[in-house]
Chains A and B, each alone.
Chain A
Amino acid sequence: MRLQNYSSRSAPHWSVIRFLIPCAASYWFALQCVGSVAAVTAKPSAPIPQDAGVSANGEVFFEENIRPIFVQRCQSCHSEKSGKHEGNLLIDSQAALLKGGDQGPAVVPGDVEHSLLIRAVRHTDPNLMMPPTERLNDESIALLESWIRMGAPFPETSSQPTVVNPSDPVEGKSHWAYQPLSIVAPPQPQNSAWSRSEIDRFVLAKLESRNLAPVSDASGKDLVRRLTFQLVGLPPTPEQLLKFDSLPQALATEQLVDELLASPQFGQRWGRHWLDLARYADSNGLDENFLFREAWRYRNWVIDATNADMPYDRFLLEQLAGDLLAYETIEQRDRQRIAAGFLEIGPKVLLGVDPNRQRMDVADEQLETIGRTVLAQTIGCARCHNHKFDAIPTADYYALAGIFTSTTVMEQRFMLNEQRVMERLVGLGENGEQIDDDYESFYRQVNSLRQHVEKAKAALELLKSGTEEAIAAKLASDSDGFCDASRDAAVTREMRVAAQEAYLNEQTKKLANPPGIPPRAMIPRDAESVVDEHIRLAGKFDDRGELVPRGFLQVLSDTPAAPLPTNQSGRIELSQWLTDSSGRSGALTARVFANRIWHHMFGRGLVRTVDNFGRTGETPSHPELLDHLASELIRNGWSMKSLIRQIAVSRTFGLSSSFDSANHDVDPENILLWRGNRRRLDPESLRDAMLTSAGTLDLQPVNSTVDYLGDQATAVGNNAVRRRTDFNFRSVYLPVIRNDLPELFDAFDFANPQLTTGARPRTTVPTQGLFMLNDALVMKAAEDTARRVLAENADQPLDVQVARMFELVINQPATPEEAALVATWIQSTETQSGSSPDPNARQKAFQLACHALFASSRFQYLE
């Protein structure tokens, strides 16, 4: 807390701060002390007051934009790294730049015009032109100017937090994310007319503090498209567009949001966000890619629960402990059990692994998934040693691990002709468990049954044609295959033959009519014996240390937890602890979840590291707003829909994505939300939107889309039956085979289904271009869309047809230039298609144009 002392001093010399607090420039450390940050990062002459969000991200800005310029263009002459000190100027640190070289300070933070660095790189002063050989491009110069305007933030490369013992849960309680929620009244911005909601007041006040103003509202068409894609993952319908136009924008927004939240497509979109976290898949992945034939039930449970707006605390409880909960009906029992499949669907090493190691590995995978998903904590780091950055000692890891090693997700099952350790399955319905047992026992016995039938056949032959002696000898040596009646030498041979024939028929029939797979699901249970775990030294499963009672994270607990029950794993108590809104744990859970919702709505969380709220994660750009959202979530009974609604109807969410160079100079990354973020469609929306344009998308929920696959989802060899993608269902139902994702998903940054993914990567790579140019899915959708446009507008002139195509594909009119461009292109393509008039020329040209429109940024981006 030395930082706070300095924060009260006026304009200390920067180098003094550095001397006393060597790591002050480490942004994430500085930001641990929320509230004291402003002064720490304020530079002596910075005209713009710094705040947490921008100072943190200013240093990210430096790493992304400025350091590459320095390394590439300056370092070779001005760095300790190159050993060259030309003009006695070094660019290795902010201090070095402030000190400058022979001509004086190179940088004056906040003052572009007086910074020699800028004068030099502009090449306007013939006596000072750097780099001397080739001028930087304009973009680089603009970035340098923005950086100086931001106060020239420059992180120290060698800085480390001065936390004495990072894993100490007592010291760790001061970390920002572990604080109880602070209740801050929404501020009163100067512009009192702009805000539409409390969220807007938080956002606007922060913008005003930086002398920024939000850009204009998005156009109605842009906003409708943004809302429908964000809330239901689909383009707007013509009715939705019409209705929106007929009402004032605020009212129209509210009505549309309510309609979308109530539609069953909402869960198909937002359930998928959860499935990313839950590492949902239809197969095991890892070493043996066995099919998870029943995982779809969990997927559909997530979609249904999301549609029902199941409160988040209940949503977690059912997934962590659904098999242990009370129920009133069998249906309810089964639904809750299916939810707990969450614990089973992780990837596991299945072959050649020590069962004790497997037990620890499975618990680790569950713990890591829950830790990152619910708490945004990297608990798994504490498996082998105390956490190096966060307040999680190894003892806490094993306290939690005990809960999961006291839970069973594996069982012995007969599959692919072997008894194997596989994910546990349980029959559904009234007599489900019995039916499942019958099914399993049939397959356990099928090989011996097959042999038995062969023997029964041989026995029949013998009875028909053998001598009494031969039959007696056979019966004496091996009577298997003979039925009781046919063994009886006292009756006639005919009777014996008849009995054996009947028996053989019966057995053959049994073999020929195996029972079908009964309804069942992946369901865990508590282990036979509930045990506390020993710490495993260095994480080795067979190297036992101290025994730790099952429990939760100390850093998030103010009072010691009551001992967990000795007859249950403790999963119910864990879930209750996670969502205990009176404690630190519940506050963190609410913050993490509210931030995830914000992330999906805006494309970026208030905390950008959505899965890491630990010391190595980032800090919130709007801490008060984050706590406000978390409090609102709890206040509304953990309702996801109500929080989404609050965000969706805000004016902030409805901002246009237009560029504003003054704002951009100060906040190039739009951290402060002065505009809407332009976003690329994810692969599910991309496909669903193309099929919608084509008129071929089926919105209905479906069950399994992997039931035609064998027990191995991918196997050694030619994989004759592979996962299909030629469905017309929504993309959320496409098979998610680990290590064999649909090409669409592979190309467009679908979540890696083996890991919790809170923020999907966003890449722009040529394989995406190849997909859009060549994949059959895109070509077929373009063909269908073109046919639809032409059929519905057969008698219309070309410009009307083109306009209709734009409406179908990008849900708004083309600009006049773009409409003309496409119409001209279609005409010229039509006439080029051959010497004799081709009756299909227009269709062909239209589908090429439509294909181009799908490939264009207008379609692939949301404004």
Chain B
Amino acid sequence: MKCNRFQTAFCRRDLLRTAACGFGQIGLAALANQSQASPIPASEGFQQLSHTVGGAKRVIFLFMWGGPSHVDTFDYKPLLKDFHGRTATAEALRGRQPPGGTILGSPFKFKQHGEGGIWISELFPHLAKHADQMCVLRSLHTDGSAHGEALLTLHTGKSNLVRPSVGAWVSYGLGAESQNLPAFITISPPRGHGGVQNYGSGFLPAAHQATAIGAAEIPVANAKISNLSNPVLNQSTQRSQLELIQSLNRSHLRTASVDPGIEGLISSYELAFRMQSEVPQIMGLDGETKETLELYGIGTVPTDNFGRQCLLARKFAEQGVRYIQVSTDYTWDHHTKNNELLPKECARVDQPITALLTDLDRRGMLEDTLVIWGSEFGRTPTAENQDGRNHHPAAFSMWMAGGGVKGGYTYGATDDLGFQPVDKPMHMHDFHATLLHGLGLDHKRLTYRHAGRDFRLTDIFGNPATEIFS
């Protein structure tokens, strides 16, 4: 039951430990590269190692921290307006259990867009033009009514135990396409609600943890990767110093005869030095045209920050990073003034996200980049504090684009008021299984032996929604 070729051949902790480690040599994909002077093309390694046929090679996950209201964005509920101000009784909901409270109708206009006729509210005017590239998932539900629990469930599949994050699993499963960059990068991650654990490696080898750039509350223009540059030394001094280090290391290695540890140390310094020179170039925007910067809304209010984050995501994607998460600050938690605050938040991200889709598409990367937009939960169809909405883990929406998903497609549905999924409910485990499926990984076969048993991202659950892929 647990034995399959991949496990025995590849999922060996010791292999990972002893391999002289460049980022590119980690994970299942490592095998393709190991002990080869020149790595075989990553795409070949990928084809060889994927479990199923998946269209995507990488993921960009756009995380809206706080939980945007689904009924105001992608889950159109005309009846909400009709019931506005009414008490959400069990009767009104035909027996389904509502959380109580007064129905809050959405003041935002919805329209069907594209040939697929996806419903999108007026809060995403730019994105709506890409409706035929989007697959909206309207039947998500999760565990945990508090942010911390829900963030951990979204990012690790589990809130009450420490587990590896989705990106770490992907890094472990597919390795990095780039020799000089990690497989998993998180741009502006949240520090609270689980913090590092949301992009940690849990019991997977530490190399699968994300490299973090900045933090949610820091404008990404000022964000840094820790220790990526020397605060004092110039490059030529450092190069000369590195040569001294490596001479000492080689001298040590000669007396040791054979030692994979020292060899690994030597190559890790070379990689570190290469990262040091290459990553800042990727993080800088110098090579980008004015048109591109404008496309992303960089330099204009209110899109500047998220625009930079999205552009950075595209650049990392281009360099072969497998899993890139982009997070907003903790700005979507609209317990009050939902109707006033939600449009502002949408305006910050709408143009940048749209630019990302456009940019990936015109570079031919959208077909193998799975772009996901989502949050830890949705918000109640009922009012809190008169004009706000409370947390709603029972039903919410996400969308995917690119990476082989069907465009102009809507998956699942909630009831008439958006309380509960009624068609094809998609639990967070199902979402994770679907995400892995999109990358060609079978969530049941991507396992890691820890504490005497094989663990997987989806525990013992999860069904991938294969129908959303074309």
Instruction: Tell me if chain B binds chain A.
Output: yes
Interface string of A231-265 (1 = CB under 8 A from B): 00000000000000000000000000000000000
A755's contact among B159, B162, B238, by CB below 8 Å, is which? B162
User: B20 near A764 (CB under 8 angstroms)?
Assistant: yes
Chain B residues near A47: list those with CB within 8 A: none
A717's contact among B206, B217, B252, B449, by CB below 8 Å, is which? B217
Chain B residues near A160: list those with CB within 8 A: 3
Q: Please indicate which of the listed interface residues B23, B149, B195, B330 has the most CB atoms of chain A within 10 Å of its own CB.
A: B195
Complex CA gap A740/B449 in Å reads: 26
User: B258 near A286 (CB under 8 angstroms)?
Assistant: no
Complex CA gap A140/B37 in Å reads: 13
User: B14 near A715 (CB under 8 angstroms)?
Assistant: no
Q: How far is the CB of B110 from chain A (nearest CB, A)?
A: 31
B232: interface (CB < 8 Å):
yes
Chain A residues near B148: list those with CB within 8 A: 286-288, 349-352
A617: interface (CB < 8 Å):
yes
Complex CA gap A715/B330 in Å reads: 11
Q: A63-B15, A773-B272, A852-B244 are in contact. Are A739 and B194 (CB under 8 A)?
A: yes
Q: How far is the CB of A232 from chain B (nearest CB, A)?
A: 23
B197: interface (CB < 8 Å):
yes
Interface size class of A (residues with CB under 8 A): 35 or more
B261's contact among A157, A755, A764, A852, by CB below 8 Å, is which? A764
User: A285 near B247 (CB under 8 angstroms)?
Assistant: no
16 A-B contact pairs sorted by A residue (CB < 8 Å):
A81-B5, A159-B3, A287-B159, A289-B192, A352-B144, A352-B146, A389-B453, A659-B257, A680-B261, A716-B192, A746-B206, A764-B20, A769-B265, A769-B271, A775-B227, A852-B245
Residue of B nearest to A783 (CB): B232
CB within 8 Å of B: which A726-743 residues:
738-740, 743
Complex CA gap A64/B264 in Å reads: 16
CB within 8 Å of A: which B186-205 residues:
190-197, 200, 202-203, 205
Q: How far is the CB of B449 from chain A (nearest CB, A)?
A: 8
A67's contact among B9, B23, B35, B268, by CB below 8 Å, is which? B9
B192's contact among A611, A715, A815, A853, by CB below 8 Å, is which? A715
B253: interface (CB < 8 Å):
yes
Chain B residues near A749: list those with CB within 8 A: 206
A785: interface (CB < 8 Å):
no
Q: How far is the CB of B363 from chain A (nearest CB, A)?
A: 27
A380: interface (CB < 8 Å):
yes
Chain B residues near A390: list those with CB within 8 A: 452
Q: Number of B residues whose C-beta is below 8 Å from A? A: 94
CB within 8 Å of A: which B219-235 residues:
226-233
User: B146 near A286 (CB under 8 angstroms)?
Assistant: no
Q: How far is the CB of B293 from chain A (nearest CB, A)?
A: 27
Q: How far is the CB of A368 from chain B (nearest CB, A)?
A: 8
User: B31 near A849 (CB under 8 angstroms)?
Assistant: no
User: B21 near A765 (CB under 8 angstroms)?
Assistant: yes
User: A352 near B145 (CB under 8 angstroms)?
Assistant: yes
User: A856 near B249 (CB under 8 angstroms)?
Assistant: yes
Residue of B nearest to A358 (CB): B160
Residue of A nearest to B272 (CB): A769
B32's contact among A72, A157, A611, A829, by CB below 8 Å, is which? A72
User: B195 near A351 (CB under 8 angstroms)?
Assistant: no
Complex CA gap A763/B148 in Å reads: 30
Chain B residues near A657: list those with CB within 8 A: 256
B240: interface (CB < 8 Å):
yes
User: B241 near A848 (CB under 8 angstroms)?
Assistant: yes
User: B191 near A856 (CB under 8 angstroms)?
Assistant: no
B162's contact among A347, A614, A779, A851, by CB below 8 Å, is which? A347
A74: interface (CB < 8 Å):
no
Chain B residues near A755: list those with CB within 8 A: 162, 202-203
Complex CA gap A749/B237 in Å reads: 29
- Of all A-B residue pairs in the complex, the 7 with the closest CB atoms, nearest first, are A287-B148, A769-B272, A716-B192, A352-B146, A764-B264, A659-B257, A378-B452
User: A740 near B195 (CB under 8 angstroms)?
Assistant: yes
A306: interface (CB < 8 Å):
no
Chain A residues near B411: list those with CB within 8 A: none
Complex CA gap A208/B33 in Å reads: 39
B18: interface (CB < 8 Å):
yes
User: A361 near B160 (CB under 8 angstroms)?
Assistant: yes
User: A612 near B265 (CB under 8 angstroms)?
Assistant: no
Residue of A nearest to B253 (CB): A857
User: B192 near A614 (CB under 8 angstroms)?
Assistant: no
Q: A714-B192, A749-B206 are in contact. Are A861 and B262 (CB under 8 A)?
A: yes
Q: List residues of chain A with CB under 8 Å of any chain B CB.
A: 60, 63-64, 67-69, 71-72, 81, 137, 139-140, 155, 157-160, 285-289, 347, 349-353, 357, 361, 365, 368, 372, 378, 380-381, 388-390, 611-612, 614, 616-617, 657-659, 661, 664, 678, 680, 712, 714-719, 738-740, 743, 746, 749, 752, 754-755, 761-776, 779, 815, 817-818, 821-822, 825, 829, 848-849, 851-853, 855-858, 860-861
Chain B residues near A768: list those with CB within 8 A: 268, 272
Complex CA gap A361/B452 in Å reads: 20
B242: interface (CB < 8 Å):
yes
CB within 8 Å of A: which B1-50 residues:
3-5, 8-9, 12-18, 20-23, 31-32, 34-36
Chain B residues near A69: list those with CB within 8 A: 35
Q: A63-B8, A390-B452, A771-B227 are in contact. Are A766 and B191 (CB under 8 A)?
A: no
B248's contact among A63, A372, A857, by CB below 8 Å, is which? A857
User: B227 near A743 (CB under 8 angstroms)?
Assistant: yes
User: B231 near A776 (CB under 8 angstroms)?
Assistant: yes
B433: interface (CB < 8 Å):
no
User: A372 near B191 (CB under 8 angstroms)?
Assistant: no
Q: How far is the CB of A242 from chain B (nearest CB, A)?
A: 25
Further pairs besides A612-B451, A659-B258: 5, Cβ < 8 Å: A390-B452, A611-B451, A678-B259, A857-B252, A860-B265
B152: interface (CB < 8 Å):
yes
Residue of A nearest to B225 (CB): A770
B342: interface (CB < 8 Å):
no
Residue of A nearest to B257 (CB): A659
A739's contact among B149, B160, B200, by CB below 8 Å, is which? B200
B435: interface (CB < 8 Å):
no
Residue of A nearest to B330 (CB): A716
Q: How far is the CB of B36 from chain A (nearest CB, A)?
A: 8
Q: How far is the CB of A850 from chain B (nearest CB, A)?
A: 11
Q: How far is the CB of A736 from chain B (nearest CB, A)?
A: 13
Chain B residues near A361: list those with CB within 8 A: 160
Q: How far is the CB of B282 from chain A (nearest CB, A)?
A: 15
Interface string of B382-421 (1 = CB under 8 A from A): 0000000000000000000000000000000000000000
Complex CA gap A657/B145 in Å reads: 55
Complex CA gap A440/B353 in Å reads: 49
User: A761 near B261 (CB under 8 angstroms)?
Assistant: no
Complex CA gap A817/B58 in Å reads: 48
Complex CA gap A605/B197 in Å reads: 29
